Amino acid sequence: MSKAPRSRMTKNRGLFPKIEPLRGSLHQEWRRCGKPTCRCAKQGPEQRLHGPYYRRRWWENGQQRRQYVRPGDVATVEAGIEEWHKLHPPVWWCHQMFRQLIRLANEEFGR
């Protein structure tokens, strides 16, 4: 098996950047600032909240954590969350697949 030239290997490193898996989910939020004269404090159709702001939320050691995500980093964080879900499928999905396998095995072996 021949090895690729070293210069070729370094050129391809930038094509597939490593995506860091991130647990949790991404939420879009609209907020009131609390100033009584601000547009967000008005009532009715002229009320406009501030935002959107993005936050990543996840559970860690029994507590919900949250982290502000800059608008320029939203795509990177979404890719990281998607990568996490690929590596860690939801428990209910695994449970459903296991039940389906048991059902198929029972049908096959006549139990």
Rounded to 10 degrees, the C-alpha dihedral 42/43/47/52 comes to 90
Rounded to 10 degrees, the C-alpha dihedral 91/93/95/100 comes to -170
* 30 touches 50 (CB < 8 A): yes
- pLDDT digits over 67-109, tens only? 999 999 999 999 999 999 888 877 777 788 889 999 998 888 8
| Choice between 90 and 42, residue whose per-residue pLDDT is larger | 42
C-alpha triplet 80, 85, 77: angle, nearest 5°: 20
Which pairing describes strands 25-31 and 63-69: parallel, antiparallel, or unpaired? unpaired
Nearest to 22 by CA among 74, 92, 99: 74
Q: What is the pTM of this model?
A: 0.61
